[in-house]
Each structure stands twice: as C-alpha cells, then as structure tokens.
Amino acid sequence: MHFAKALPLRSGASIRAYDLSFETYGQLNADKSNAVLICHALNASHHVAGVYLDKSGQILAKSEGWWDTMIGPGKPVDTEQFFVIGVNNLGSCFGSTGPMQTNPDTHEVYGADFPVVTVQDWVDAQARLLDALGIKTLAAVMGGSLGGMQALSWTLQYPQRVRHAIVVASAPNLTAENIAFNEVARRAIVTDPDFHGGHFYRHGVLPKRGLRIARMIGHITYLSDDVMNEKFGRRLRAPTLPAARGSLPPEGALRLRPGEAGSAAPAWERGDSSALAGAVPTLPAARASLAAPFKFSTQDVEFEIESYLRYQGDKFAEYFDANTYLLTTRALDYFDPASEFGGNLSRALAEASAGFLLVSFTTDWRFAPSRSREIVKALLDNQRDVSYAEIDAPHGHDAFLLDDPRYMGVVRSYFQSKVAP
Amino acid sequence: MHFAKALPLRSGASIRAYDLSFETYGQLNADKSNAVLICHALNASHHVAGVYLDKSGQILAKSEGWWDTMIGPGKPVDTEQFFVIGVNNLGSCFGSTGPMQTNPDTHEVYGADFPVVTVQDWVDAQARLLDALGIKTLAAVMGGSLGGMQALSWTLQYPQRVRHAIVVASAPNLTAENIAFNEVARRAIVTDPDFHGGHFYRHGVLPKRGLRIARMIGHITYLSDDVMNEKFGRRLRAPTLPAARGSLPPEGALRLRPGEAGSAAPAWERGDSSALAGAVPTLPAARASLAAPFKFSTQDVEFEIESYLRYQGDKFAEYFDANTYLLTTRALDYFDPASEFGGNLSRALAEASAGFLLVSFTTDWRFAPSRSREIVKALLDNQRDVSYAEIDAPHGHDAFLLDDPRYMGVVRSYFQSKVAP
C-alpha cells in the first residue's frame, strides 16, 4: 500500500512518501472487530503464515510464513475466526520502503541516508495501514522479541485501538549486554571495506563479510547453551563431506538487489530450526568421543558448530540488507518506554488499557523471563488484566518461533477465552 | 631461554628451535621444592607480578603484572616463601617464539606458517623450562581460564612433577557455545582483507578491523550481565566529551611490530577492570533516565557500553597479534582430556595424583561453576584430595583477575595449609 502523506519520525526527520508491504489471512468481519496485527522481529517480514505457490500451482519449497506454526486455519491464532494482518516494517528489505529503495528526493538509492526509525515510528506507520483498511480497533496486536516491543508500544501509543496485546519473548528495553551484542554486529558491518559508509549499492558490492559476522553473533544469542550442546556439542565435522564453505544456497536464490526487493521473505527463522535438525551432517556419537582426529588448522572447519554458524552467516549475507540490519538493531537499542518516566516502568504502562498475555521461555538468555516479569509487575501495579506463561523450553530465544505444545496451548486458550468476540 | 632441541607437537609438526620468555619472583630454596609455575590465559604473558622501572628508576605506569593482586611478597601466593615462575607460551606475541618472529627454516616471519600448538604442547615446553632451571617437582602449578587448563593438563602429563594444582575459573573442555564465540572472533580476523591469509606482515598491514571485533566479542563474554548493567546500564555517552574513537592510547605505546616483540606485556587484563572503574566518563544517573536525547545514528556512539567496547577493541588491535589470537583460541577449542577416554572425565583424571584447589565464580557464564564442579566430581571419583570454592562475585569471568577478599583468602589458605613445606 502506498502512503502519500509524509510520516513524521521520532528523530525529527520524516519520510515523504512510502510503501508498506502487507499480507492478510482470513476475513474481516462486518463490524471490523476481529483484526489481529502481527509485528515482526529483527529480520522477518509481513509473510507470517501460509505458503506461496509457483505458476503451476505447486507449493514453493521453504515458503512457509515465519509464524506458520502459530497462525492459520485451526491454529492458535485461528484465521477462520480472526482477520490476521502481517506488515513489513519501514526500513526493512522485504518490500516496504527501506534503504535499498530509491529516495524520491534524490533519485538515488537511500542507503545510509534512510532515516533512523524507532519502534514508535513503526507503530505509527502500522496505525495508518489500519486506517486505510478501515479498522479502528484491533482485537489483538501480537509479536515476539522486537515484535513484542511493538505490541507493547501499541498499547501505549494507541490505547483505545487495542483490546489485547500478546507479547512473547520480549523485554521493556535492552540491557547493556543486549546493546553490546548489537554494537559488535554493527561494527562488523560498518568496518567492512565493502560497506562504503552505507552507500555500497553505488559501488556494486555488498558488505557480506560484516553481515556474516553479525549473523553468527546473533545466532549464538538466539540459541541456549543447552540446545547447542545437545545439537552440536563438541562433535567434529565429518571429514569426508564437502566443505561447509561450499554449501551456500543456489546463487541468486535469495539474493535481493536494489530495486528488486521482493515480497517473498525467506522463512529464515523457522528455517533455522530445521537447519538445526537436518542441514548439518554429523558424525556418529561414538566417533566424536574417540581421541580427536583434528586437522590442526585455525581456519578450516573442525567442529559442527563452526560449520553451522558459517552456513547461517553465508545464507544471511546473501539476502539481508546491511543498512536494514543497522536500523533495526538501533530500533531495539532505543526502545525504552520507561525512559520518559524516570525509568519507572509502572508509570510508563499506566497508559495501557489492553488485556495482556506475556510469554517467556526459561532458557532464553537474550530476553530472559525476568524481563517479561518486569512488564507483568508494572501492569499489575496498574491493576491491568494480565496473563503470564513461563514456558520450560530448551531452545533459548528461538523457542518463540517453534512449535512447543504448551506454548501453543497457552496462546490458543488466550485467544479463545479472552480475545474471541 | 633458548631451546635448541626440536619440540614435537601434538599435530605431528615440530618446532626446530625456540625461545621462551619467563620471569621469576622470590628465591628457589636449597632442595628446589618451593617452585610455583603460573600459566597464562588468552592474551596475558610471563609478566605475572611486580612492576617495571624506567631508566631513572621510576615505576612505569600500568606495568603491573596481570596477577599482581595474587602474587608477591605477603600476597596469597607469597614470593617470600615461594619461587614463582611466569612463562610466556609458545605462539604468543610477548617474547616467546611465535608467528611474529622469523622462521629459521625460511628466514621469513612465520605468520600463518607457525604450527598450531595445543595445551599439551605448552605444558611440554614448560616442563623443558623447569628441566633447564633444575626443578624436578613443582610445589604447585596454577592458572585461571586457559591457564587453569594448563594446570590441569600438567597433573595428567607429568603427575610425578606436580604436588598441587590450582585451577581457577576453568573447564574440562569448551562447550559448543564457547567454541562458537571463538569461531566468530576467528572469522572476523580471517575475513579482514588486511589478514592476507595470515601473512599480513609481508604486506605491511595489520588486520585491525578483525582484531577489534574479536576483542569486543571476547569482552562481552568476560563480563557478567549484572556488572554490565551496574557499570553501564543504558547510560548514554556524554555528548560534550571527545569521541571514544579518538581515545586510543598514545600511538606506539603498546604497539608491537614483527621482530620487536618486547617482553613488557601490557597489563591488559587488570587494565580492563580499571577501565571499567574510570576510563569511560559517564553521565550523572539522573540525566540518563530523562527522555533520551539520542543522536538517531546507527554509526555514532550513543551508549556508554558502545564506547567502552570500542575503546577495548581499539586498544587490543594496537598490541595483539592476529595469528596468536587464532592459535590460542584453537588451543582452547582442542583441549579435552576426556576425549581419549570416551568422554569419561573421571577415567581421564585417574592419572592425576596432585592435590587440587578449584575456584569458580557464580556469575561467570563463560566457564560457569558447573564446569568446575565436573572436574571436582571426576577427581572425587578417583578419591583425590580436592578443595573447591565457589565465590559469589558479580564480575563474571573477569573475577579471576580481580581482588575479591574471599577469593584471595581461599588461595592464601590453600597455599599456607596445603602447599607450604
């Protein structure tokens, strides 16, 4: 959808005109009271559910939406009952206006000139999309991680337009450690000689080295120590298999160039978990516990975990935009609704009138359960209606994208007992 | 000390001839029974205690040994009682033969051709140093982190030469997550265009971008979430102060070039903690909790934690050798004494006959207390004499370098009651 009216941003800048890519699932009811907005995290998109078909009507491989386990007919967020909207955020690289697209003022690709956007700006843009769709009030707004921050911000910026907020694996702000990981990832990108101050498009190159490192760092923080030990441990990479460095996806398959930013976002987040299960061939356990037949090399892959991380980094660098990565991590850093209230989250959340479901996962060390509990406490301080589930799951932060039956059960119950008209 | 006899390595390669830099403190007694060997961690050196003087007899600023709180006259490892030896490991960049020095076979700087060395190789080289010093048996071998792995390995490789082992903030091997962090750091270095396959010396450049990223990642893992929140939190960098990027140490102060590798290792590890306390000017707390006056920039420093990490990365890239970083992280990855025993640590440690003190720190998530407890259990399974202290300290892995009174008290007691003749 095109928006011709300029959007003022928290930075003081504005975007003169812009497009938002979105998808919808299910039917909007007559009184337009069954809409559920899904907000996405760091590198997902508006493609939250369902699959894409090719020209012959066949399902495209790996085209499932990133929250397809959660959203669809008969699923916890049931599209036979709710009208679900997925929207790609401003500044992203999957169809909405972002750094890879042309600045109408200069007729050049934005690159580093794309303005810094905040969680609040995204929510403002999403509210305009709802205006255009004729939806006054959301039955629910829902998101995980950075998406959960948007859901929380909706309840503060537009309290009268949100009946329920579902905030999963999120936090009221980033800790110093969270910011630190973001900053290392940004420095890896910015100091890549192919970054060219963010105007790499003009030079016909991509800062892939930096993106690979950024993605590898990110990946470590998405997984728990437990699940890494279980899936990889100290297992060595099988010596007879082709080198991991060669196992990229087919050239161009996921590649986006300026002006080509397609709407088919890769289902990477769910893809990660399937990669965990199958993509990396492993040695039999007995072999791994023999005296280690190392290559004694600092640069070759020795351990499975190295192979997995390199593969994830290589894949990501093929499809994700470096400027989008910088913008999105900054939006994470900046989010802090309590900052206007002297750091008092209870005062900050007094504005919210929605009902809330918060969900966290025991092994998530990126956004630990204690961070969700801070939100729960602040809402209870304001006598709000809050449900909270702390799910005992081994998968770390990634758990919010996986198909855990207790997690799915909690969301299903909340939608049926609280959100359903 | 020069060693003319080739040292065979676990990789199958060997080093034809080599030097080891070392320092000693205190006096070796008549029967040579009071020697204590100190093994160093990732980027420390043989300079474990005391200070250096300049030509006029003045103490050189920041020249304290990296474990000066622990070792010295009247300190927990009392040099009035013990003869303490600090030795720089093979492959390091602080005086012992390493990648920055000339390969006698080719008359070129080793660079990437320096052979991969293991913890066991280091211990073998240290044993030869003791031979040369006429020391048959150590009163104790002691180290923290990677140094603790060397101490543990001593008890397995030379059980008859070690009466006591003090293993601090260490682990019986790396977890998948530990290896993952090492691998990201290595990839940052290796993919820096200035790395030139490890032969950057020939090109007159240093892969500083990669070293900075490696160091920033490492630093995050040395600190606890708690201490980061306490010291930095979400505080913004004071806008009127000079930019962090300009606050490098004086040009050349810590710089080492090929062939110039000096013996004065920077006291970086203790330096870090003092940097934590004072180097980064902070905004008053009240200011930090106002609505945030952000710069809305993805590349400028916004938060104190960013400034701190950039400073640490810049400093490190000035003095540390990239090939040494790769070699040392690989030695960490490879260490796994249980691997020859089907993963059974109890069987692996059956060889050890020393008395043991193990120390861990509650907030250390790099080498968590549970990893030390694995060693304790395996030693108890063999009816060994083991003392174990789990110190409640907020500083994360870095705690092993800091002056915690309970930690110091435990080491002092162990040396007085167990190690002292």
Please state which of the ranges A306-310, A355-359, B134-138, B237-241 shows the lowest mean pLDDT. Answer: B237-241
**Residue B134 pLDDT > 90:** yes
- Whether residue A22 contacts residue A46, with contact meaning beta carbons closer than 8 Å, is answered with yes
How large is the average pLDDT for residues A342-358? 97
Strands B140-144 and B164-168: parallel
β-pairing verdict for B83-87 and B140-144: unpaired
Instruction: Please confirm, yes or no, whether B336 is among the known catalytic residues.
Output: no
pLDDT tens-digit readout, A105-158: 899 999 999 999 999 999 999 999 999 999 999 999 999 999 999 999 999 999
Nearest to A274 by CA among A231, A235, A240: A231
Helix (H, G, I), strand (E, B) or coil at B57: coil
pLDDT at residue A280 is higher than 70: no
Q: What is the pLDDT of residue B221?
A: 97
- What does the pLDDT read at residue B239? 58
What mean pLDDT do residues B252-264 have? 30
ipTM over 0.95: no
A/B interface, count of CB pairs below 8 Å: 188
Please state the rounded mean pLDDT for residues B106-117: 96
> B304: nearest CA in chain A?
A176
> Is A11 at the interface with chain B, CB within 8 A?
yes
For residue B269, pLDDT over 70 is answered with no
Residue B105 has what pLDDT? 87
Residues near A154 by beta carbon (within 8 Å), at least 6 away in sequence: A37, A39, A123, A126, A138, A141, A161, A162, A165
- What type of residue sits at position B26? G
Q: Is B174 on the interface with A (CB under 8 A)?
A: yes
CA-wise closest residue to B187 among A300, A304, A191: A300
CB contact under 8 A, A339 and B228: no
Write down the pLDDT at residue A239. 58
A342 with B289: Cβ contact below 8 A: yes
Task: Please write down the HEC assignment for all residues of B33-56.
Answer: CCEEEEECCCCCCCCCCCCCECCC
Backbone angles phi, psi at A343, to 5 degrees: 85, 5
Task: Tell me if chain B has a CB within 8 Å of the CB of A290.
Answer: yes
Phi, psi of A230 (to 5 degrees): -70, -45
Our CA-based measurement puts residue B176 at a distance from the nearest CA of chain A, in whole angstroms, of 5
Question: Facing residues of B38 across strands?
Answer: B86, B142
- pLDDT one-digit tens code per residue, A34-62: 999 999 999 899 999 999 999 999 999 99
Three-state SS sequence of B92-149: CCCCCCCCCCEECCCCEECHHHCCCCCHHHHHHHHHHHHHHHCCCCECEEEEECHHHH
What mean pLDDT do residues A303-331 have? 97
Chain A environment of B209 (Cβ under 8 Å): 191-192
pLDDT at A293: 84
* Dist CA B248 CA B251 (whole Å): 8
* B116 to A183: CB separation less than 8 angstroms, yes or no: no
Contacts of A313 in chain B (CB under 8 A): 187
* Active-site annotation holds for B121: no
- B9 Cα to chain A: minimum distance (Å): 10
Q: Mind listing the pLDDT tens digit for each residue in B314-354?
A: 999 999 999 999 999 999 999 999 999 999 999 999 999 99
Q: Which residues pair with A38 in a beta bridge?
A: A86, A142
Across B236-254, average pLDDT: 44
Q: Which residues, listed in sequence order, are joined to residue A303 by a DSSP beta bridge?
A: A236
Per-residue pLDDT averaged across B288-300, rounded? Answer: 74
- Distance from the Cα of A221 to chain B's closest Cα (Å) equals 9
Whether B283 contacts chain A with CB within 8 A? no
Banded model confidence at residue B254, pLDDT cuts 50, 70, 90: very low
Question: What region, left, alpha or beta, does residue A420 occupy, with left being phi > 0 and alpha being psi -120 to 50 degrees?
Answer: beta
Predicted model pTM:
0.89
Tell me the shortest Cα–Cα distance from A114 to chain B, in angstroms.
11
Paired strand residues for B144: B168
| Residue of chain A with shortest Cα separation from B228 | A176
| pLDDT tier for residue A241 given thresholds of 50, 70 and 90 | very low
The residue of chain B nearest to residue A112, with distances taken between CA atoms, is: B298
Say whether pLDDT at A30 is over 50: yes
- At B92, the amino acid letter reads S
Per the annotation, the verdict on B107 as an active-site residue is: no
Comparing CA positions, the residue from B26, B6, B44 lying closest to residue B270 is B44
Instruction: Kindly state the average pLDDT of the residues A250-255.
Output: 30
Kindly state the average pLDDT of the residues B114-130: 98
Angle at B415 between CA B411 and CA B417, to 5 degrees: 115
Given a cut of 50, whether residue B380 has pLDDT beyond it is yes
The token pair at A291 is 């005296």
Q: How far is it, in rounded angstroms, from Cα B208 to Cα B195?
A: 9
